[in-house]
């Protein structure tokens, strides 16, 4: 199966080059872990800013169409309704296909022992895509991540999370931000049209956020320097900007060790 990040980058890059507009991609990974090791996982790709881009394009097209109708001589053949409808729906159809590709991860997870309540997130009205599930233990969570990485990102990952006593650990693997950067670099090397500068500018505001919640405990500390503790002391968030040059100079990582009390 083709690398999912390549599909994502390919479609959005087409949008950038075609529409000459800017937008953003926000990835949010949420993990809730209880004292007994059970919990829930949710991954969301928020492309609502791309939706705004497409709506702006559609509005511009409608305005241009109205102006042309006022100025076009009778002998010229105007655009047909079918032509306009095809133009309006082409981007929406492509995004729907992309959303299905992302959310279809849930199909691969339904047969994994220890996983329940597997759901897909495929909201084309808000351009929110992803998947979520509950896990019985950390082993089941790691197996799910292993399947996702293998089938959708063509990456081999054995272990992503650990929980031992009062310590929760996220290893420096399955980093979607790094996977995206790698795909972007590979695409840039193969770029023959010189359009990658525009694409990189489009994705410059991309964010990758991890949120770790511990409903049965308080967070004592988190080793990742980007960690932010919630007001109630029961969750940690880490915000990475994969294409932010200033942050990248500090070599940010998804890895963290969270001490609980």
pLDDT of residue 190: 57
Average confidence score pLDDT of the chain: 79
pLDDT of residue 25: 82
What DSSP string runs through 25-61? -EEEEEEEE-TTS-EEEEEEEE-HHHHHHHHHHHHHH
Contact 227, 236 (CB under 8 A): yes
Is the pLDDT confidence value at 15 over 90? no
pLDDT of residue 189: 60
pLDDT of residue 17: 42
pLDDT of residue 87: 45
What DSSP string runs through 119-187? EEEEETTTTEEEEEEEESSHHHHHHHHHHHHHHHH----S--EEEETTEEEE-S---HHHHHHHHHHHH
Position 75 confidence tier, pLDDT thresholds 50, 70, 90: low
Contact 51, 19 (CB under 8 A): no
Angle of CA points 244, 247, 249, to nearest 5°? 105
For the chain, what are the domain ranges? Answer: 4-19+30-71+81-235
Q: What pTM does this model have?
A: 0.77
Contact 138, 161 (CB under 8 A): yes
How far CA 221 is from CA of 102, 164, 166, 227, 256, in Å, comes to 33, 15, 11, 9, 10
Is the pLDDT confidence value at 173 over 80? yes
**Highest mean pLDDT of the ranges 148-157, 187-196, 199-208:** 148-157
Per DSSP bridges, beta strands 26-33 and 207-213 are parallel
What is the residue whose two structure tokens read 């705004």?
52
Task: Average the pLDDT over 39-55 and give the result.
Answer: 81
């Amino acid at each position: 199966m083709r690398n999912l990040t390549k599909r994502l980058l390919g479609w959005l890059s087409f949008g950038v080059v075609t529409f000459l507009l800017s937008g953003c991609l926000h990835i949010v990974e949420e993990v809730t872990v209880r004292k007994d090791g059970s919990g829930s996982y949710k991954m969301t790709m928020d492309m609502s800013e791309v939706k705004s881009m497409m709506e702006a394009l559609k509005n511009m097209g409608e305005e241009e169409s109205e102006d042309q109708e006022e100025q076009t001589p009778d002998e010229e053949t105007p655009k047909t309704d079918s032509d306009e409808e095809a133009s309006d729906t082409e981007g929406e159809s492509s995004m729907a296909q992309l959303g299905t590709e992302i959310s279809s991860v849930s199909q691969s997870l339904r047969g994994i022992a220890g996983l329940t309540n597997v759901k897909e997130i495929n909201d084309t009205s808000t351009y929110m895509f992803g998947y979520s599930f509950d896990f019985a233990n950390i082993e089941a969570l790691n197996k799910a991540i292993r399947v996702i990485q293998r089938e959708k990102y063509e990456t081999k990952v054995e272990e992503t999370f650990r929980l031992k006593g009062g310590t929760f650990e996220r290893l420096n693997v399955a980093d979607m931000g790094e996977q995206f950067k790698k795909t972007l670099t590979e695409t840039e090397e193969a770029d023959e049209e010189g359009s990658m500068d525009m694409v990189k500018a489009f994705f410059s505001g991309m964010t990758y956020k991890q949120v770790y919640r511990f409903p049965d405990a308080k967070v004592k500390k988190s080793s990742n320097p980007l960690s932010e503790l919630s007001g109630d002391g029961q969750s940690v968030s880490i915000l990475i900007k994969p294409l932010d040059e200033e942050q990248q100079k500090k070599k940010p990582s998804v890895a963290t060790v969270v001490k609980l009390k």
